[in-house]
Structure 1
C-alpha cells in the first residue's frame, strides 16, 4: 500500500488516453447522457502530441460516431484518389495490379489524414459536449477497490528525484475514481499491461504480435506531388531478414508521409530497423520523389499486429480495454483507427446501459460481445491468417495464400481455419552467434539521416531530474544476456537511440546506458527485449514527443 495521501475526485467514467478510442468513448457517453460525468486524462503535452499513425483513415468509425463530421469541419481533407502497390527489388520494382486484391483492400472512400489533427478536432467535439480533458496528466498507477476491482487511477504525480524519492517540489497527484475505467493507452500501455497480467486476460488467446512503425513527414517539390496518392511497398530492403513494408501518402500542401514498418518477430538480432528505413529511401523510386525536398518531422510507434486471435479478454471488474490496448489493427489494410473509434463507442454504450441499471465496477460483458461479434470482429476475422502466413512462409507465399484466404473469408469460410502465432516477438529473437552481421550504409544527410539527428525532429523532451521511466527488472541482464548472448539488439531496435553499450577507454566490459530523454514512447524495448527485462512506464505528464501534423 502507498503511504502517499491524495485527494480523490469521483466520475462516472474515467478514460486514460486521448486517442481515437478514448475520445470516441467520451463523445458517445455525452451523446447518450449529457449529465454523465466523464474525464479524459492524456499524458501528452496536448491532445495529439503523442499520436502517430500512417494514416489512411476508413471513415466508418467517424460515420457511426459523428455522422455530420464533414459539416463540423473534421480534418479529413484529402480523399484517396490513387492506390498503388509495389514489390521492390534493390534497383527496380514490380507493380502489383489492384484487380486480384480482395475488395476489403480498396482505399476508395478513405482519407489521408494526420491522426494527431483528427484527435485534436475530436477533443474539441468532446469538450463542446462537456467532457473534461486534462492533457499533461500521466496516469502512473491503478487504484484498486476492496474486492480487487479497478476503482480508478493516479494522475498528475510530479517532482520525484532520480532515485524515486520525493523532490522539493513534489506533487502527489490525484486519484480519479470512476464507476468504470477505460484504458485507451494505445499499443502496450503500461496500465493495460498490468491489468492484462493481473486478471490473466490473455489466457486462451494467442500472444500479441507487433511491428515497429517509423515515419517522416516531408515537404517535396510541387512538380512531384500527387495529392491523394497512396503507395505501399514490400520486399527490399528487408528481404528474408524481416517482414514489413512501407507507405507513401501524398497529403495536402505538397507534403508526403513516408513510413516504414518492420515486424518485430525478426530473428537476426543484428537487424537495425531504423537503418532499414533509411536505406529504403535510397531506392530509385523513393529517392526520385524525395530529392530536392526536406524532412519536417520524425516519429516512431509500435503497432499491434496479432489481430483477431490475439485480442485478450477486454473487460475485468471495473475496467475495459479499448482500441490498440486490445489490438484492433487490420494488418493487410494497415488500418486500426476506425476500429479504435468503434470500440470506444461500444464501450460507452455498454457503460451507459450499466450505469442506467444501477451497476458499477463490474465486467462490461456487452462491450466485449459487441467487439467480437460486431463490425470490429467482422473486419479482423477476415484477415486473421495473413500475419501468421507471412511469419511462417515469407512474403511471396503469403501474398498468394493470404490473398486467397481473404477472398474466401469474404464468402464466409477459410481454407486454413484460424492459424496460431506461436512465439512472442521477444522469444523469436535469435542468438548473435547464429546470425550474420548486417552492413548498413552511412546516412547521407539528404535522404537518410542518423538516428539522433532525426529524433530531434520528434521534439521529444523529458525532465532530466525525474527517475528514468525505462526500468530494468535486473540491472545485470543487459550485459549478461542482451549483450553477451544476443549481441546487444537494444542498441539497434530502439528507433530513438535510447540504449547503448559504452566501451570503457581502458578496455574491459561495456557499460549499459539508458538515455531516457530520447524516448519517443514507441514501446519497442518493452516488446522486443529478449530477456523481457525492460519495462516501459509513464514519465511525468507532458513529457515525450510533440508531434506536429503526424
Structure 2
C-alpha cells in the first residue's frame, strides 16, 4: 500500500468480496459449521452494489443441487424458487423470418432443462442472492453493501484482506466535504467472489501467476431484458433457447434465451461470444434486432419492457480455469470461471465452489491455523466434486464453438456427449481481444432504427437499468494511454468501444478544432466489464467506482 492515509481497521476471520451466489453460499456454510461446532467465527461480506442483488444479472435457470446441500429445507425457508421448468424448446434461426425447431433427440443432453432427477427453476438470480443474504445474516454474517473493495492487501506475498475505496473523492482526486477514507478489512483468509472479470481477481491471477499452463480465459457478453406480458401469452415454466441468425451471418458465435418466469413476466436475452472478429459488430444492436424474429416476437408483442442490463460471462470452462488458491485466500465462482457453458448455467457450480471454499477454510481455522496459508486441500476437494466433473465433461464445448462455428461446434459437442466425452479435447489459445481484425477487412453495419416496441436505443435501455454514479468522482475506466483510442484504435479498428459497450459509455466526438476525441461517459456504465475484456490494445482497465454506484437491478 503506497498511500500514507490514516485508515480505520476492522479484523475478521474471513472476508468475502462480493455478495453473489458463490460468496453468500460460502458465508452461510462458514457460519453453519461454526455454529454446529460452537466455535466463534467472524465473517464479513463486502458488496459494491447499493444493496445485495443490485448488480446481479443472470438468465437464469437454477439447478438447485448446491442449494439442497446448503439448505435442504430451502422451500420452508421461503427461497424464491416458484416457477419449475416445464417445457423446453430449441430453435435454429435460419434468417430474419425462418427457423427450424430442433427435435428433443437432437438437443445435447446438457441443454435439457426438464426431466431427470432434479427439478430446475426459472428464477431471478438477484432475488436468490437477496434471500441468501437474509439467511447469512440470520446465521451471524456481517454484510456491508455499498462498499467497494479497491485493492487487496498483500504483505510478504500473502493476502491479508482488502482495502475499501475512499468515499467522497472529487474527479480531480481531491477530497470533497464528507470525504471518508476507506477502511482496511483484514482477515485470516479472504475469498474473492466478484463475478466475471473481477478487477481484484484479475490482479491476483496476474500477480500470483494463477493462469500458468492454462488457456487464456474466454468471455461472452450477456444482455437481458425483463418484460411484462399479457396473461394470455404467459406460459410459466416455458424455456426457449436458440442460435443461428443474426450472429452466424456475421461470423460471430452465441445464442439467445427466452424464459417465462413468474408474475406474467418473460426474460429474454442474448449471449454473444467476445471472440468475434468484426469490429463493426454491436452486441446491443444484434440483440435488439433479434427480438423481431417471429419465434421471439410472439412472446413479447403486446408486452412492456421493464428492465434491461448487461454483464460479461466467464465461459472458457475447464481449459481456462486458473489455479484458485494463493497464500491467504481463494478465487471462487465466476471470478475464477466455474460456469458450465454447456448448460448455460453457473449458479449451481459457483455455489458449490463457495461451499467447498468454506469447508476448506473452516477446517484450517479449526485446526488452529492463524491464516495466510496456501489452502492446497481446496484443490483436492474441488477436483473431487461433482461440479468439477461437470466442467471436465464439457471442457471442449466453448472452444469447439469458436473453432467450428455454432452449427459445427454444436455437432461436435452433440457427438462428444453421445460418446461420453471421448473426442479429443479442443483448445482455443487466442485471447478474445486478439481475435478482432482490422476494420478494413469488413463493411460497416447499418443497424435499423429501433421501433420503440420490440427494439430500443441504448439511452432508454440504460435508464431501465437504474444506473447511477456520482458525477464528480474519478473515472473508474482507466486508460493506460489516453491517446491510443484515437491514435491507434480509430484508424485500425474504427474504435470498437463505441459498439461493444452495451451502455453508450464510449463515444468518438469532435473537439473544438474538429478533430476526433475519445469521450468516456462513465455515468452510464452498467459494470459489464466488456471494455476490460475486448479492447484490442488492452488499454482500458475497469476498477471499482465509489461504493453504491452502478446499476440497481430490481429482480434480474
Q: TM-score, normalised by structure 2?
A: 0.96
Alignment counterpart, residue 391 of structure 1, candidates 402, 425, 435: 402
**Whole-Å separation in 2 of the counterparts to 1:212 and 1:455:** 16
Mapping of residues 154-233 of structure 1, within 5 Å: 154-233=163-242
1:62 maps to 67
Does the CA contact (< 8 Å) of 1:482 and 1:490 recur in 2?
no
Q: Which contiguous aligned blocks of 4+ residues in structure 1 show a shift greater than 4 angstroms?
A: none
Residues 1:502 and 2:509 are matched in the alignment: yes
1:100 maps to 106
Does the CA contact (< 8 Å) of 1:240 and 1:394 recur in 2?
no
Alignment counterpart, residue 146 of structure 2, candidates 136, 149, 164: 136
**Whole-Å separation in 2 of the counterparts to 1:289 and 1:526:** 34
Mapping of residues 39-50 of structure 1, within 5 Å: 39-50=44-55
Mapping of residues 22-101 of structure 1, within 5 Å: 22-34=23-35, 35-89=40-94, 90-101=96-107
Residues 1:285 and 2:295 are matched in the alignment: yes
- How far is 1:285 from its partner? 1.9
Gaps of 5+ in 1: none
Mapping of residues 1-40 of structure 1, within 5 Å: 1-34=2-35, 35-40=40-45
Alignment counterpart, residue 419 of structure 2, candidates 408, 411, 418: 408
Residues 1:530 and 2:536 are matched in the alignment: yes
2:263 maps to 253
Residues 1:420 and 2:430 are matched in the alignment: no
C-alpha RMSD over aligned residues? 1.1
Could you list the per-position Cα deviations for residues 422-445 of structure 1 after superposition, in whole angstroms to 9, with x for gaps in the alignment?
111000011111122112111011
Q: How many residues align?
A: 544
SS at match of 1:394: helix
Mapping of residues 444-455 of structure 1, within 5 Å: 444-455=451-462
**Whole-Å separation in 2 of the counterparts to 1:379 and 1:425:** 24
Alignment counterpart, residue 150 of structure 1, candidates 151, 159, 174: 159
**Whole-Å separation in 2 of the counterparts to 1:24 and 1:376:** 15
Could you list the per-position Cα deviations for residues 267-320 of structure 1 after superposition, in whole angstroms to 9, with x for gaps in the alignment?
000001100000001111222221111000000000011001100010110010
Does the CA contact (< 8 Å) of 1:215 and 1:300 recur in 2?
yes
**Whole-Å separation in 2 of the counterparts to 1:325 and 1:511:** 34
1:430 maps to 437
**Whole-Å separation in 2 of the counterparts to 1:341 and 1:282:** 36
Mapping of residues 373-388 of structure 1, within 5 Å: 373-388=384-399
Which is further off, 150-159 or 267-276?
Answer: 150-159
**Whole-Å separation in 2 of the counterparts to 1:118 and 1:361:** 31
Does the CA contact (< 8 Å) of 2:458 and 2:502 recur in 1?
yes
Q: TM-score, normalised by structure 1?
A: 0.97
SS at match of 2:255: strand
**Whole-Å separation in 2 of the counterparts to 1:314 and 1:506:** 50
Could you list the per-position Cα deviations for residues 451-481 of structure 1 after superposition, in whole angstroms to 9, with x for gaps in the alignment?
1111100000000111001100111111112
